[in-house]
Amino acid sequence: MGNWDTTLSFLKGRISDDVFNVWFKTIECKRVTSEHVELVVPSEHHINFIENQFVGLIEEAIVETMGRPLRVKLRAYGSLPFDDDYTSEHDVVPLSDLSNNEGGLNPDYTFDAFVVGPSNQFAYAAAVAVAERPAENYNPLFIYGGVGLGKTHLMHAIGHEVQTHTNKRVTYLSSEQFTNELIVSIERKEMSDFRERYRTQCDVLLIDDIQFIAGKERTQEEFFHTFNALHNNLKQIVLTSDKTPQEIPKLEERLQSRFIWGLVADIQRPEMETRVAILKKKAASQGFYLPDDVAMYLANNVNTNIRDLEGSLKRLAARAKVDGKSVDIDLARADLQPFLKQRAAQLNPERILKLVSNYCNVKLTELKGKGRTKQVAYARQLAMFLGRKHTGLSYTALGKAFGKDHTTVISAVRKIEDLLQNDPATRGDMEALERNLLA
């Protein structure tokens, strides 16, 4: 089950190695149907623990990697398959077919469920405009931003709105699914069917994580012609990515130019007030009360992305249910402590230095050295600003990590703060660096 391998890889990036090795490494995927994924685990103990702690996370990962919400069913090794809806191997729905099943849309991802704030209001307004008048406003619409900030949510919301108010045919899939279907179609000599499905049987094409077609020559060639066919026939195209078209390495120039024909809209990390609003709305939708002090605590400490924020809320609610306790600040502090320790270990000066070194094409020795060329000084200032913002270290401690004194760090932080207010290029560099740092 190739797509389950992708799901496991996605999960591995969201949890610690120890947790993954104990609870996830031994999971086997037996079947994927149109409604659920059947997973086999070593014991009943594994079933109980995974159901209590990780089912929500697994189902989120399935949406991200398989392009469709599927229910998780767990059984132990040696037990019989589920009989209530058992199908033979020939009845199992191919993963590639899921992309066209009712558009492959997550029913929870609607405009009503989306919390709008300064960090995402431009992308939200663009998505609404596209949904109201497909192929008339912003074609293509290209939404970019870091992991877990709501790009996929907006994309699905467009699909739902179009399906509700028009008779247009909506297709959602990931770029990986597009590539996989292309490969299968080539092997089976069914390219005419593949092209008809995406060029003539589709009115609104939604493709997630388009950056992953970069470097794949045949996929880029096929998507180039698919894009042209749809655009020329006034069909709407919506794409998401973690980078702007110009920032995607190994993406053909002809695709880069087409991706910016319409509108490029970014989603940034949500600010404090939006994070609180997201938590409140999510808790209400799940039917439990979230005290204001708990919402503020979670929002203040989980500022990476919405996915992590909602994940922290799910873990807290699950822990309260298992322990038979109410959701309060003490429980929130105890539950969030492992996350805070893990984040502190990841956000350190050495990682920031390496990230800035690669991004700015400046050697580590130069960043820590005495060089004062414009490129080196700017890169060093970016690194110091990131260090001050994300590590919690003092100016003195940061100065030691960079081989400088604390006054140099203070000066660098103030310089970048000024540039962020007045220089769009610096804002772009900082957004790109933070997307990678907090991914």
- Average pLDDT for runs of 10 along the chain of length 439: 75 79 82 84 77 85 82 75 43 41 73 92 95 93 89 94 93 88 88 92 94 93 96 96 89 95 92 92 87 92 83 86 87 84 78 90 87 89 90 87 90 92 85 78
Query: Amino acid letter at 156?
Result: H
Q: What is the pLDDT of residue 90?
A: 34
58: which 2 tokens?
């697994």
Domain 347-436 matching CATH 1.10.1750.10: the answer reads yes
Q: What is the pLDDT of residue 307?
A: 83
Q: Would you identify the CATH topology of the domain 109-264?
A: Rossmann fold (3.40.50)
Bridge partner residues of 32 (DSSP): 37
Domain with CATH 3.40.50.300 in the chain: 109-264
Q: Would you identify the CATH topology of the domain 2-74?
A: GMP Synthetase; Chain A, domain 3 (3.30.300)
Q: Strands 204-208 and 236-241: what pairing?
A: parallel
Starting from the edge strand earliest in sequence, which strands make up the sheet with 263-267, in order? 170-174, 204-208, 236-241, 141-145, 263-267
Of the candidates 128, 259, 106, the one whose C-alpha atom is nearest the C-alpha of residue 172 is 106
Query: Amino acid letter at 168?
Result: K
3-state secondary structure of 23: helix
Domain with CATH 1.10.1750.10 in the chain: 347-436
What are the C-alpha distances in Å from 420 to residues 317, 424, 437?
Answer: 38, 7, 18
What's the DSSP call for residue 79?
A: P
Q: Is the dihedral of CA 241, 243, 245, 247 positive or negative?
A: negative
Name the class of domain 270-344.
mainly alpha
33: which 2 tokens?
């149907």
Domain with CATH 1.10.8.60 in the chain: 270-344
Cis omega before residue 140 (within 30°)? yes
Domain with CATH 3.30.300.180 in the chain: 2-74
> What is the number of H-type helices and E-type strands within the chain?
20, 8
Q: What is the pLDDT of residue 80?
A: 54
Q: What is the pLDDT of residue 78?
A: 57
CB atoms within 10 A of CB 50: 19
- Residue 276 makes CB contacts below 8 A (sequence gap 6+) with 295, 296, 299
Q: Is the dihedral of CA 398, 402, 408, 413 positive or negative?
A: negative
- Residue positions counted in the chain: 439
CB 353 within 8 A of CB 383: yes
pLDDT digits (tens, 9 = 90+) for 102-157: 456 888 899 999 999 999 999 999 999 999 999 998 999 999 988 788 999 999 99
Q: What is the pLDDT of residue 103?
A: 53
In 3-state terms the chain splits into helix, strand, coil percentages (rounded to 5) of 60, 10, 30
Angle at 401 between CA 395 and CA 405, to 5 degrees: 50
Q: What is the pLDDT of residue 285?
A: 85
Q: What is the pLDDT of residue 380?
A: 93
CB atoms within 10 A of CB 387: 27
Q: CA 345 to CA 93: how far, in whole Å?
A: 42
